[in-house]
């Protein structure tokens, strides 16, 4: 039995149910790094290449934090998770593609990385093979791997179903792993619905966005995110674009944004983006122009190492004031 560390950053916020269930069911212990803190951020800023975006720096920080306490560091190379896009070539941001190498060369004294290549766009998928490779590294039999993968997929599916009932990802994760019964949030006194779109690691990491979701909840806002939509609802938006974007998480954010704009169930859209994020330089302006054309109020929030709670709160409050003013005038 080994101890496998999973850094709490990037795809963690989206694929944890699968990853953790799979590894646990193989009979190993999973340790997650603690929620992002100043110390983890500082460590990441110190170790990572200075031009990287904050999520990548945080990943380095989380990985460094785990390094001493685990036998393996789980850092899969996410290349694709489906066949999608104009050329069937949907992938992840180049930084995801190079992540295991970046981490390996930046950090000293790392345990061995589980850097299995996850490339599911080819016919037949490839998740069995990828799972088998991980199982081999951890010394498990093919039968164990098959069973663990099935359970992992089930957990991931359960997570998505919970999210699609309107439960925020954080609560859904709790429910998946603690087995608590959880119910869709009831609206009490929430007068405004806001769609928060962006990458899971930008919207669900409260440290990165200075507690944006909490601020919104305190202000009596009902929050929806792109993860509360089914793949079908999301992919339907693809026909509205002249060309599909190349990145999985970006496509989800854009489709989510477009869905909420045409659906007219939301009062406004907040897009959370990281400073100097490459794909988001496209995503953000695309959403801004589309929001203008759909007459949907739109607020981009760019976060970096220096983002403070007061700054985010001020902008959110101003945005909400505007939305409420608009509603009263109607």
For other proteins, the closer CB: 120 or 282: 282
Report whether 28 contacts 2 (CB < 8 A).
yes
What are the φ and ψ backbone dihedral angles of 167, each rounded to 5 degrees?
A: -90, 135
Among 51, 123, 189, 232, binds other proteins (CB under 8 A): 51
d(Cα 278, Cα 260) in Å, to the nearest integer? 24
Question: How far is the CA of 240 from the CAs of 24, 28, 225, 295, in angstroms?
Answer: 41, 45, 20, 16
Residue 234, helix vs strand vs coil: helix
Report whether 250 contacts 228 (CB < 8 A).
no
| Least gap, CB of 292 to other proteins (angstroms) | 8
Q: Which of residues 122-181 bind other proteins (CB under 8 A)?
A: none
Contact between 49 and other proteins by CB under 8 A: the answer reads yes
For other proteins, the closer CB: 261 or 320: 261
For other proteins, the closer CB: 63 or 245: 245
Among 38, 243, 329, 330, binds other proteins (CB under 8 A): 243
Contact between 115 and other proteins by CB under 8 A: the answer reads yes
Distance of CA 30 to the CA centre of its chain: 19
| Least gap, CB of 151 to other proteins (angstroms) | 29
For other proteins, the closer CB: 214 or 292: 292
Q: Which of residues 266-285 bind other proteins (CB under 8 A)?
A: 275-282, 284-285
Q: Which region, judged by CB under 8 A, interacts with other proteins, from 9-17, 46-54, 202-210, 314-322? A: 46-54
For other proteins, the closer CB: 116 or 209: 116
Count, residues near other proteins per rule CB under 8 A: 43
Closest CA to 203 of 184, 230, 225: 225
Question: How far is the CA of 305 from the CAs of 38, 52, 93, 250, in angstroms?
Answer: 10, 11, 20, 22
Report whether 75 contacts 7 (CB < 8 A).
yes
| Least gap, CB of 174 to other proteins (angstroms) | 33
229 Cβ contact list (under 8 Å, min separation 6) = 164, 255, 256, 259
Binding mask 64-103 for other proteins (x = CB under 8 A): -------------x-x-----xxx-xxxxxxx-xx-xxx-
For other proteins, the closer CB: 84 or 160: 84
Contact between 45 and other proteins by CB under 8 A: the answer reads no
Contact between 245 and other proteins by CB under 8 A: the answer reads yes
Q: Please, where are the H alpha helices in 26-89?
A: 38-47, 54-66
Residue 313, helix vs strand vs coil: helix
Among 117, 146, 236, 324, binds other proteins (CB under 8 A): 117
d(Cα 29, Cα 251) in Å, to the nearest integer? 33
Please give the residue ranges that form the binding site for other proteins (CB under 8 A). Answer: 48-49, 51-52, 77, 79, 85-87, 89-95, 97-98, 100-102, 105-106, 115, 117, 241-243, 245-247, 275-282, 284-286, 289
């Amino acid at each position: 039995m080994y101890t496998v560390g999973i850094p709490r950053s990037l795809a963690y916020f989206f694929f944890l149910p699968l990853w953790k269930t799979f590894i646990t069911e193989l009979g190993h212990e999973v340790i997650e790094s603690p929620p992002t803190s100043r110390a983890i951020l500082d460590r990441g800023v110190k170790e990572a290449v200075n031009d990287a975006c904050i999520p990548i720096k945080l990943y380095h920080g989380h990985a460094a934090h785990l390094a001493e306490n685990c036998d393996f560091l789980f850092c899969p190379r996410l290349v694709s998770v489906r066949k999608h896009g104009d050329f069937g070539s949907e992938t992840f941001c180049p930084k995801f593609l190079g992540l295991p190498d970046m981490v390996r060369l930046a950090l000293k004294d790392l345990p061995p990385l589980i850097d299995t290549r996850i490339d599911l766009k080819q016919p037949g998928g490839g998740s069995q093979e990828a799972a088998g490779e991980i199982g081999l590294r951890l010394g498990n039999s093919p039968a164990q791997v098959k069973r663990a993968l099935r359970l992992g997929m089930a957990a991931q599916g359960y997570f998505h179903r919970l999210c699609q009932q309107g439960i925020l990802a954080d609560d859904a994760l709790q429910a998946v792993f603690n087995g608590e019964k959880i119910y869709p949030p009831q609206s009490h006194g929430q007068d405004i619905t806001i769609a928060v779109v962006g990458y899971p690691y930008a919207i669900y990491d409260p440290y990165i966005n200075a507690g944006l979701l909490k601020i919104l909840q305190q202000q009596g806002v009902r929050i929806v995110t792109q993860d509360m939509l089914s793949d079908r609802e999301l992919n339907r938006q693809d026909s509205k674009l002249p060309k599909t974007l190349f990145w999985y998480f970006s496509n989800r954010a854009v489709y989510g944004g477009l869905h909420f704009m045409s659906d007219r169930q939301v009062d406004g859209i907040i897009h959370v983006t990281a400073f100097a994020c490459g794909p988001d330089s496209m995503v953000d302006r695309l959403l801004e122009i589309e929001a203008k054309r759909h007459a949907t109020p739109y607020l981009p929030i760019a976060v970096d190492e220096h983002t403070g709670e007061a700054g985010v709160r001020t902008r959110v409050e101003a945005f909400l004031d505007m939305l409420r003013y608009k509603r009263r005038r109607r």
